[in-house]
Structure 1
Amino acid sequence: MSIKPVIERIAGGRVRLASFQGDTPVTHRSVAAIAAGLLAIAPAKAQQVPNGKYDVPVSARDRFYTSDQFSNTVSVIDPSSNQLLGVIKLGDQTPGNLSPLYKGQLLVHGMGFSPDGKTLAVVSIGSNSVSFIDTETNTVKHTAYVGRSPHEAFFRPDGREVWVSIRGEDYVAVLDGKTFRETGRITVPTGPGMTIFSPDGRYGFVCSSFSPETVAIDTRTKKVAGRVKQASPFCPDLAATPDGKQVWLTLKDVGKVMVFDARPPFNILKTIDTGPITNHVNIARTAKGQFAYVTVGTENVVKVFRTSDFAQVASVPVGALPHGLWPSGDGSRMYVGLENADMVAVIDTAANKVIANVPIGQGPQGVAYVPGAVTAGDGRSNLMPLAKALAKTQLELSGTGRSQVTLFDQGQVQILQAAVAGLPPKTDFILALADRPDGRGKLQPLAKFTTNPAGSAIVNAIGPIRQVVTDEASDDRRYLVVANGTPDAPGAPVQVQR
């Protein structure tokens, strides 16, 4: 018989069509043999969930995005050149964003994307919103206002719904995937931190930041199908493996990751000590196997674990306070947002080494790598340049443990963020300004904090701090310290500025 062919095959992880011309007799058996041979030559590999697509090589059509909490921007990177193309401005800097008449977004934080790669879902904690951004034009096409302090939002693998974790309350808001309007709520343990879906879309896994429990939700019935006890109450992030077998979650307060079976009854498989301020986890599937990458904030590294036996295979130094991370569409790279460095580190997953650093907006939190985000044009429309005002000053405090401090310029004031580590757990301390370099004498408290069970904390303050801690010639020179006690009863310093 005469055919014009169409044999679908998978090559290098990509779906292609092979055409045959002419009067070639073809039987079902010969077609099967050809297809089997092609598959044997080039086996398919699944991309990182949530969408389980075939591998997509890095290209100029891909985009990597970061949600920048202190500049209230979304940074847009071309991964083919590892260059910042510009930022999408969602709000203003401090103190302009504190006005009662302010209409922009505040504390841009979480990030998800649609299965077709055409829509970003960007969560702003301070304005209780999800901004839906067109990846082709870099414009906001809809803003949905939800409950108190949302943290992360993600599309179901079929694109029909967006699930938003309302961390300030006790539910997941379900939004329509096209209209972006809320259609329902799913009650979960208090403080849901994030939702991620199994690759087949059957389950939505919701961890908690305030309750020591993760739940598996049946996406068809919207009912709890299983529960997993967390080793601590503070889970900010979780990821499902592309093979559909495991879910990894981070526990920021105790510095651990947990792994559980992605299938009922969702048994815990492993708990691993990773280090204080363990932030996010994500999965890369490479020629060497399937690996979990974990950001550890106080050590400024990304730790890499095999998912087959949970063995640590690498520790990659990346820079100040690594937070969100996401693999490229083929797993060849892992992109990491550095919260206290205003930078993205690019890891080559074959060598587990940083191959590039890209400057971005202030305080990156959630991130997303979206293969094929731009199908027409150069994808630069409506982007703004990275403002000169987005400068920073970095300091270190040491003594009992150490603190890495970044001062994010907001004009005349700065937002201070300190990653504190190495102190006694569950103890009250203050971050303060001291008159003397040794931290002795009168203290001016800036912020009170209590260390978590791992003896660490993230501490924030706002003010004209850079002007007084960096001017060597000024009579008003002060020194940052961490001291025991409370603002009303400060004690002796335990860490001092170096």
Structure 2
Amino acid sequence: MAGVLVALLLLAGATYAGVRFVLKSDEPEAASRNPAPAQSAPGQTAGAAPTGPATEPAGTQQPAAPPSLAKPVVLEQITLGREPEGVAVAPDNRTLYVADQDSKDVHFVDVQSKQVSVVKVPNTPRFLALSADGGRLYVSLFENDFTGNGLAVIDTANRTLVKTIRTGPRPFEPAVAPDGKVWVPIHNGARVEIYDDKTLTEAARISVPPNPHWIVFTPDGRTAFTANHESSQISVVSVADRLVRKNFKVGKSPHALAVTPDGKRLVATNYDLDTVEIYDTGDQRLIHKVAVGKEPQAVMVSGDSRHAYIVNEGSDNLSVIDLSSGRVVSTVRVGDSPRVNALSPDGKRLYVTDGRGKTVTVLRVSEE
């Protein structure tokens, strides 16, 4: 009888341990279904800061990126809309998406034929983010008087508006997390709003210092960084529990961010200082501070993690930084008042929206 009792206790313990393991692995999804926001104070430092560079999860090895060019080659300029701003590229590299912020148009551009179709949205489109499979385009919306705040969801295959979600005031550059959820920096709300990609409802909120412009993730999906423009800080956020682990000071007015594909470096543009700062993603140690053109607004990193391409709105050019040496290795002229850039998934083309020029500049950025 004693032996049977011990066996039953062991079996019960094993079953309980198994249940705990399943619940733990499902916690992020459970949080996404709970509409109650998860708040964290701007200065919160609870828990240990993420350490070490991010790496790709096992079994997700990607094909090697082509070698990047130190001096990109301008191929053409596509005339488009009234004031092109946000830009994204489809996973198959064939379609370019552009938000026209002087209209209510989102342009779909065939890269080869240059044929353009338009999807109308309810309010002025600003910035874009694309789901990993390219099936959904997320568009931040707001008017110049800060009304009409929202996130438009577009079905890219059918080219139809699926839903418009009401957001906080002035949603800036949205970002799709590796788990598919959509993170939206709320400029005038000092917070990030997170939306479930299945229900298209709000799943959580995270408080950050004023005023967030940009969000990027490490390749492993564990850490997010937000550029908090007016407070001259970057927040380090744990994606799993949505807690701000650290806020650290940068030069001034960080506008845009990029993480290198190898997960080792974080690149930040200091809009009001005309500089770019390069940090270690693990301990947020400053590695390089680089002078660039006037009003650096956006940044993309080459697929091989060697170069950063900086859009300088005030000087109508692109600064190319060698990330190893921290030097500007070339400067390339683009259109009038460049705003945002996007790299094609194959690493071969860079697209820059030229706001006042009403064009998109196309550059070859690889040796292939």
TM-score relative to the length of structure 2? 0.74
Question: Quick one: distance in 2 between partners of 1:166 and 1:121?
Answer: 15
SS at match of 1:136: coil
**Mapping of residues 52-451 of structure 1, within 5 Å:** 53-58=62-67, 79=69, 82-90=72-80, 105-137=81-113, 139-168=114-143, 169-201=148-180, 203-232=181-210, 234-263=211-240, 265-286=241-262, 290-372=264-346
Bigger helix fraction:
2
Amino acid at match of 2:225: W
Q: Deviations over 1:255-298 (max 9, x none)?
A: 222221122x3000221222333210111144xx5111000022
Question: Quick one: distance in 1 between partners of 2:186 and 2:330?
Answer: 33
SS at match of 1:148: coil
Check whether the contact 1:321–1:339 (CA below 8 A) recurs between aligned residues: yes
Check whether the contact 1:194–1:208 (CA below 8 A) recurs between aligned residues: no
Q: Deviations over 1:206-247 (max 9, x none)?
A: 111222221121212222222101211x32221112110111
Q: Deviations over 1:333-379 (max 9, x none)?
A: 111111111111111122221111111001111111114377xxxx9
Question: Quick one: distance in 2 between partners of 1:373 and 1:352?
Answer: 21
SS at match of 2:310: strand
Check whether the contact 1:250–1:278 (CA below 8 A) recurs between aligned residues: yes
Check whether the contact 2:232–2:250 (CA below 8 A) recurs between aligned residues: yes
Question: Quick one: distance in 2 between partners of 1:82 and 1:242?
Answer: 25
Question: Kindly tell me: are residues 200 and 55 of structure 1, through their superposed partners in 2, closer, same or farther at Cα, counting changes over 3 Å?
Answer: farther
Q: Deviations over 1:148-194 (max 9, x none)?
A: 22211121002111111113323211100212210112232232112
Question: Quick one: distance in 1 between partners of 2:222 and 2:122?
Answer: 32
Question: Quick one: distance in 2 between partners of 1:327 and 1:294?
Answer: 11
Amino acid at match of 2:65: V
Check whether the contact 1:162–1:180 (CA below 8 A) recurs between aligned residues: no
Amino acid at match of 1:215: E
SS at match of 1:210: helix
Cα distance, 1:141 vs. partner?
2.9
Check whether the contact 2:70–2:329 (CA below 8 A) recurs between aligned residues: no
Structure 1: give runs of 5+ residues left out of the alignment.
Answer: 1-43, 60-78, 91-104, 391-407, 411-498
Question: Quick one: distance in 1 between partners of 2:335 and 2:62?
Answer: 30
Question: Quick one: distance in 2 between partners of 1:185 and 1:53?
Answer: 34
Check whether the contact 2:237–2:244 (CA below 8 A) recurs between aligned residues: yes
Question: Quick one: distance in 2 between partners of 1:245 and 1:316?
Answer: 28
Question: Quick one: distance in 2 between partners of 1:171 and 1:192?
Answer: 7
Cα distance, 1:126 vs. partner?
1.1
Question: Quick one: distance in 1 between partners of 2:63 and 2:220?
Answer: 12
Matched residue count: 296
SS at match of 1:225: strand
Cα distance, 1:45 vs. partner?
6.3
Cα distance, 1:54 vs. partner?
4.4
SS at match of 1:132: strand
Check whether the contact 1:207–1:237 (CA below 8 A) recurs between aligned residues: yes
Identity of aligned residues (%): 22
The answer for the alignment partner of 2:39 in structure 1 is none
SS at match of 1:178: coil
Question: Quick one: distance in 1 between partners of 2:247 and 2:61?
Answer: 26
Question: Kindly tell me: are residues 150 and 113 of structure 1, through their superposed partners in 2, closer, same or farther at Cα, counting changes over 3 Å?
Answer: same
Question: Kindly tell me: are residues 140 and 276 of structure 1, through their superposed partners in 2, closer, same or farther at Cα, counting changes over 3 Å?
Answer: farther
Question: Quick one: distance in 2 between partners of 1:334 and 1:294?
Answer: 10
Higher Cα Rg: structure 1 or 2?
A: 1
Q: Deviations over 1:49-74 (max 9, x none)?
A: xx995441236xxxxxxxxxxxxxxx
Structure 2: give runs of 5+ residues left out of the alignment.
Answer: 1-53, 359-368
Question: Quick one: distance in 2 between partners of 1:128 and 1:230?
Answer: 30
Check whether the contact 1:149–1:166 (CA below 8 A) recurs between aligned residues: yes
TM-score relative to the length of structure 1? 0.55
